[in-house]
Amino acid sequence: MSVKGILQSGMFYIDHLSSESETDARDIEQFQIDAPEGQGLSDYLKRYARQEEMNRSMRTYLVRDKETDECVGYFSLKAGLISLNEVEVEVEDSATGETRIEREFDTLPGVELANFAVNSDYIKKYPYQKGVGYVIFKKFIIPMIDAVSENVGVKMVYIFALPYGRLMKRYERYGFCRLSDSQEADLHKRLKPRYDESCKFMYLVLE
Protein backbone atom coordinates (compact mmCIF):
# COMPACT_ATOMS: atom_id res chain seq x y z
CA MET A 1 0.00 0.00 0.00
CA SER A 2 1.41 3.40 -0.95
CA VAL A 3 2.11 5.91 1.79
CA LYS A 4 -0.29 8.84 1.77
CA GLY A 5 0.74 12.43 2.33
CA ILE A 6 3.99 14.00 3.52
CA LEU A 7 3.48 12.98 7.15
CA GLN A 8 1.26 10.32 8.71
CA SER A 9 -0.13 9.40 12.10
CA GLY A 10 -2.18 6.37 13.11
CA MET A 11 -5.43 7.78 11.72
CA PHE A 12 -4.52 10.77 9.53
CA TYR A 13 -2.09 12.24 7.06
CA ILE A 14 -1.27 15.73 5.82
CA ASP A 15 -0.58 17.23 2.43
CA HIS A 16 0.73 20.64 1.56
CA LEU A 17 -2.05 22.71 -0.03
CA SER A 18 -1.73 22.71 -3.80
CA SER A 19 -3.27 25.40 -6.00
CA GLU A 20 -3.43 22.84 -8.85
CA SER A 21 -5.15 19.99 -7.03
CA GLU A 22 -8.81 19.47 -7.84
CA THR A 23 -9.13 17.35 -4.70
CA ASP A 24 -7.84 20.22 -2.59
CA ALA A 25 -10.20 22.65 -4.35
CA ARG A 26 -13.15 20.34 -3.66
CA ASP A 27 -12.20 19.83 -0.01
CA ILE A 28 -11.74 23.57 0.52
CA GLU A 29 -15.10 24.31 -1.04
CA GLN A 30 -16.83 21.78 1.22
CA PHE A 31 -14.92 22.64 4.42
CA GLN A 32 -17.35 23.58 7.20
CA ILE A 33 -16.84 25.41 10.48
CA ASP A 34 -20.06 25.60 12.46
CA ALA A 35 -18.86 27.83 15.32
CA PRO A 36 -19.63 31.51 14.56
CA GLU A 37 -16.20 32.55 15.86
CA GLY A 38 -14.60 30.25 13.29
CA GLN A 39 -15.94 32.00 10.21
CA GLY A 40 -12.70 33.90 9.73
CA LEU A 41 -10.88 30.55 9.47
CA SER A 42 -13.36 29.34 6.88
CA ASP A 43 -13.03 32.58 4.91
CA TYR A 44 -9.26 32.38 4.95
CA LEU A 45 -9.21 28.82 3.62
CA LYS A 46 -11.73 29.47 0.85
CA ARG A 47 -10.63 32.94 -0.23
CA TYR A 48 -6.97 33.49 0.58
CA ALA A 49 -5.09 30.25 1.34
CA ARG A 50 -4.10 29.32 -2.23
CA GLN A 51 -3.06 32.86 -3.13
CA GLU A 52 -0.86 33.09 -0.04
CA GLU A 53 0.70 29.73 -0.89
CA MET A 54 1.70 31.05 -4.28
CA ASN A 55 3.19 34.27 -2.91
CA ARG A 56 5.01 32.40 -0.11
CA SER A 57 3.50 34.34 2.76
CA MET A 58 1.89 31.26 4.34
CA ARG A 59 2.14 27.48 4.31
CA THR A 60 -1.17 25.64 4.67
CA TYR A 61 -1.63 21.91 5.20
CA LEU A 62 -4.77 19.84 4.76
CA VAL A 63 -5.34 16.97 7.19
CA ARG A 64 -7.12 13.88 5.82
CA ASP A 65 -8.43 10.57 7.15
CA LYS A 66 -6.11 7.71 6.12
CA GLU A 67 -8.97 5.28 5.59
CA THR A 68 -11.56 7.49 3.87
CA ASP A 69 -9.44 10.43 2.57
CA GLU A 70 -12.03 12.81 4.00
CA CYS A 71 -10.77 16.27 4.93
CA VAL A 72 -10.43 16.43 8.71
CA GLY A 73 -8.97 19.89 9.21
CA TYR A 74 -6.33 22.35 8.18
CA PHE A 75 -3.59 24.47 9.67
CA SER A 76 -1.32 27.29 8.48
CA LEU A 77 2.18 28.22 9.60
CA LYS A 78 4.32 31.26 8.98
CA ALA A 79 7.63 32.58 10.26
CA GLY A 80 7.54 35.34 12.82
CA LEU A 81 9.17 37.01 15.75
CA ILE A 82 8.53 39.34 18.62
CA SER A 83 10.92 42.19 19.18
CA LEU A 84 11.87 44.90 21.61
CA ASN A 85 12.08 48.48 20.52
CA GLU A 86 15.60 49.82 20.50
CA VAL A 87 16.71 50.53 24.03
CA GLU A 88 19.67 52.53 25.29
CA VAL A 89 22.04 50.52 27.41
CA GLU A 90 25.08 51.71 29.35
CA VAL A 91 28.06 49.56 28.43
CA GLU A 92 31.43 49.59 30.18
CA ASP A 93 34.60 49.24 28.14
CA SER A 94 36.55 46.55 30.01
CA ALA A 95 39.89 47.93 28.76
CA THR A 96 39.44 51.58 29.67
CA GLY A 97 36.68 51.43 32.28
CA GLU A 98 34.80 54.12 30.40
CA THR A 99 31.08 53.77 29.87
CA ARG A 100 29.21 54.57 26.73
CA ILE A 101 25.62 54.39 25.59
CA GLU A 102 24.74 51.79 23.00
CA ARG A 103 21.39 51.15 21.37
CA GLU A 104 20.32 47.52 21.51
CA PHE A 105 17.51 45.62 19.90
CA ASP A 106 16.42 42.07 20.73
CA THR A 107 14.17 39.50 19.06
CA LEU A 108 12.63 36.13 19.88
CA PRO A 109 12.11 34.03 16.74
CA GLY A 110 9.06 31.85 16.41
CA VAL A 111 6.54 30.19 14.15
CA GLU A 112 3.02 31.54 14.15
CA LEU A 113 0.23 28.99 14.05
CA ALA A 114 -1.82 31.40 12.00
CA ASN A 115 -4.85 29.18 11.32
CA PHE A 116 -6.05 25.89 12.77
CA ALA A 117 -9.51 24.42 12.27
CA VAL A 118 -11.24 21.06 12.29
CA ASN A 119 -13.91 20.29 9.69
CA SER A 120 -17.27 20.34 11.49
CA ASP A 121 -18.80 17.95 8.95
CA TYR A 122 -16.12 15.36 9.73
CA ILE A 123 -16.63 15.71 13.48
CA LYS A 124 -20.39 15.34 13.09
CA LYS A 125 -19.93 12.24 10.96
CA TYR A 126 -17.59 10.62 13.50
CA PRO A 127 -18.72 12.01 16.88
CA TYR A 128 -17.09 9.10 18.72
CA GLN A 129 -13.62 10.19 17.56
CA LYS A 130 -12.55 12.40 20.47
CA GLY A 131 -9.48 14.61 20.53
CA VAL A 132 -8.98 15.14 16.80
CA GLY A 133 -7.59 18.65 17.34
CA TYR A 134 -5.11 17.45 19.94
CA VAL A 135 -3.88 14.67 17.65
CA ILE A 136 -3.43 17.10 14.73
CA PHE A 137 -1.51 19.48 16.98
CA LYS A 138 0.86 16.87 18.44
CA LYS A 139 1.27 14.60 15.42
CA PHE A 140 1.56 17.21 12.68
CA ILE A 141 1.89 20.82 13.82
CA ILE A 142 4.66 20.27 16.37
CA PRO A 143 6.69 17.95 14.08
CA MET A 144 6.42 20.41 11.15
CA ILE A 145 7.74 23.20 13.38
CA ASP A 146 10.43 20.93 14.84
CA ALA A 147 11.62 20.21 11.30
CA VAL A 148 12.01 23.94 10.63
CA SER A 149 13.83 24.45 13.91
CA GLU A 150 16.51 21.95 12.85
CA ASN A 151 17.73 24.51 10.33
CA VAL A 152 16.45 27.91 11.45
CA GLY A 153 16.34 29.45 14.93
CA VAL A 154 12.87 28.93 16.42
CA LYS A 155 12.29 29.51 20.10
CA MET A 156 8.51 29.22 20.32
CA VAL A 157 5.20 28.61 18.61
CA TYR A 158 2.65 31.36 19.09
CA ILE A 159 -0.93 32.15 18.23
CA PHE A 160 -3.30 35.09 18.42
CA ALA A 161 -6.36 33.48 19.94
CA LEU A 162 -9.83 35.00 19.84
CA PRO A 163 -10.63 35.85 23.47
CA TYR A 164 -13.21 33.10 24.03
CA GLY A 165 -12.68 31.10 27.24
CA ARG A 166 -13.42 27.73 25.64
CA LEU A 167 -11.00 28.35 22.80
CA MET A 168 -8.16 29.56 25.03
CA LYS A 169 -8.65 26.60 27.36
CA ARG A 170 -8.24 24.30 24.39
CA TYR A 171 -4.95 25.94 23.51
CA GLU A 172 -3.83 25.70 27.12
CA ARG A 173 -4.55 21.97 26.89
CA TYR A 174 -2.18 21.90 23.92
CA GLY A 175 0.54 23.48 26.06
CA PHE A 176 0.16 27.17 25.21
CA CYS A 177 0.53 29.80 27.93
CA ARG A 178 -0.89 33.28 28.32
CA LEU A 179 0.89 36.40 29.44
CA SER A 180 -0.09 38.01 32.72
CA ASP A 181 -3.26 40.15 33.00
CA SER A 182 -1.20 43.33 33.20
CA GLN A 183 0.92 42.39 30.17
CA GLU A 184 -2.22 41.62 28.16
CA ALA A 185 -3.79 44.90 29.27
CA ASP A 186 -0.67 46.86 28.24
CA LEU A 187 -0.64 45.10 24.85
CA HIS A 188 -4.29 45.98 24.34
CA LYS A 189 -3.53 49.66 24.96
CA ARG A 190 -1.29 49.55 21.91
CA LEU A 191 -4.35 48.58 19.85
CA LYS A 192 -7.00 51.04 20.94
CA PRO A 193 -8.82 53.01 19.73
CA ARG A 194 -8.92 51.03 16.50
CA TYR A 195 -10.28 47.76 17.90
CA ASP A 196 -12.76 46.85 20.60
CA GLU A 197 -11.04 43.70 21.82
CA SER A 198 -7.66 42.04 21.46
CA CYS A 199 -6.86 38.60 20.32
CA LYS A 200 -4.75 37.02 23.05
CA PHE A 201 -1.10 36.30 22.37
CA MET A 202 -0.44 32.73 23.53
CA TYR A 203 2.91 30.96 23.26
CA LEU A 204 4.50 27.55 23.67
CA VAL A 205 8.23 27.28 24.24
CA LEU A 206 10.04 24.59 22.28
CA GLU A 207 12.54 22.31 24.00
Partner 1 sequence: MATITRYGKPNMTGLPKDLGVSIFKTILSTPAPNFHKMEQEADELERKMKMERERHKANVG
Q: Which of 3, 96, 103, 128 binds partner 1 (CB under 8 A)?
A: 128
Please enumerate in sequence order all residues whose Cβ is within 8 A of that of 24, keeping only pairs 6 or more positions apart, or say none. 15, 17, 18, 62
Of the pair 69, 197, the CB lying nearest partner 1 is at 197
Q: Which of 130, 147, 152, 153 binds partner 1 (CB under 8 A)?
A: 130
Per CB under 8 A, which of residues 171..190 are in contact with partner 1?
175, 177, 179-180, 183, 186-188, 190
Closest distance between partner 1 and the C-beta of residue 105, in Å? 9
- Give dist(CA 195, CA 61) in Å, integer: 30
Contact 200, 158 (CB under 8 A): no
Closest distance between partner 1 and the C-beta of residue 158, in Å? 8
- Give dist(CA 63, CA 118) in Å, integer: 9
Query: Between the CA of residue 144 and those of 27, 61, 87, 104, 166, what are the distances in Å?
Result: 22, 10, 34, 32, 26
Applying CB under 8 A, does 206 fall inside the site for partner 1? yes
- Give dist(CA 99, CA 11) in Å, integer: 61
Q: Which of 142, 148, 167, 168 binds partner 1 (CB under 8 A)?
A: 142
| Amino acid letter for position 23 | T
Contact 73, 132 (CB under 8 A): yes
Per CB under 8 A, which of residues 61..90 are in contact with partner 1?
67, 81-85, 87
Contact residues for partner 1 (CB under 8 A)? 9-11, 67, 81-85, 87, 106, 108, 126, 128-132, 134-135, 138-139, 142, 155-156, 158, 160, 162-163, 175, 177, 179-180, 183, 186-188, 190-191, 194-199, 201, 203-207
